[in-house]
Structure 1
Amino acid sequence: MHFRWVWLFVIMLLLAGCQPSYWVLEKDRIGEGSSELELYANYLQTHDDVKGYQVFTILEGRKMVIVSLGSSEKEEKIEVSDVKYSPKETIVTVKRKPGPKANEKNPYILIGLDKIDGDLIVQDETGDRFEETDYQQ
């Protein structure tokens, strides 16, 4: 009987370790992250040619990566495809999908990360990399 409880405990630990280390913040909750996030999101809509990513530090040292597509892709929406960690780099892969006509001039996504190990690489599914924007926080 004790053997079953030990296995159950081990399985629970393994499942707890499998939780994703990223999340997507809904845009209507952007004010909960920090005022900087909201300012940057507004900046993206007034500077709709900005394409790339920007990193912000939020609660408890966690990071928020905002990836924008630029106005040339305003008919698209962006989703997280994968996040991979290694000691040398953190790779965030996003995918573009046809989106409904939105009121955004510059589509963007808010990706929360528990941590960033090594260099941060933000890319799409074809391997094309996004550059960090020159936004001054």
Structure 2
Amino acid sequence: MRSRWIWLFVIMLLLAGCQSSYWVLEKERIGESSSELELYANYLQTHDDVKGYQGFTILEGRKMVIVSLGSSEKDKKLEVSGVKYSPKETIVTVKRKPAPKANEKNPYILIGLDKIEGGLIVQDESGNRFEETDDQQ
């Protein structure tokens, strides 16, 4: 009987460790999070040469990272491959995929993070890093 409780505890720990520490916000819901996010997303569509990422603090201290590709890749879309944490850095990895229909002048993705440990690195699957943009709406 006791071994069952131990196994249950071990499984609970494993499941807790597997919880995702990021999420992708649907673009239709951007207005629910922050007007600052919505303004920046609109800015990206009018300044389609902006490529890189911009970080924001949203509700309850959580973070939101907007990654944009620029108009040169308007036939692509972004997906999150993974997020890795270490004491020195948080690495967000994205992958480019063909977009079924190119409806944005500057494709972007909204990645929510529970936290950022150390420095933030945003990269693609090949290890090419996105630069933090200094563009503000």
How many residue pairs match? The answer is 137
1:28-107 superposed matches below 5 A: 28-107=28-107
* Alpha-carbon distance in structure 1 between the residues aligned to 2:102 and 2:59: 29
| Runs (5+) with no aligned partner, structure 1 | none
* 2:7 aligned with 1:7: yes
Give structure 1 regions of 4+ aligned residues with deviation exceeding 4 angstroms: none
Give SS of 2:84's match.
strand
Instruction: Write the letter of the residue equivalent to 2:72.
Output: S
Contact 2:65 2:111 in 1 (8 A): yes
TM-score (norm 2): 0.95
Give SS of 1:83's match.
strand
The CA deviation at 1:72 is: 0.3
Q: Which moved more, 1:3-12 or 1:96-105?
A: 3-12
* 2:117 aligned with 1:112: no
TM-score (norm 1): 0.95
- Cα-to-partner distance string for 1:111-133 (whole Å, 9 max, x where unaligned): 00111111111111111111111
* Alpha-carbon distance in structure 2 between the residues aligned to 1:103 and 1:125: 24
Give SS of 2:12's match.
helix
Instruction: Write the letter of the residue equivalent to 1:88.
Output: K
The CA deviation at 1:108 is: 0.2
* Alpha-carbon distance in structure 2 between the residues aligned to 1:102 and 1:79: 15
* Alpha-carbon distance in structure 2 between the residues aligned to 1:88 and 1:2: 40
The CA deviation at 1:13 is: 2.4
* Alpha-carbon distance in structure 2 between the residues aligned to 1:105 and 1:60: 32
Contact 2:76 2:102 in 1 (8 A): no
The CA deviation at 1:18 is: 1.2
Counterpart position of 2:124: 124
* Alpha-carbon distance in structure 2 between the residues aligned to 1:132 and 1:41: 15
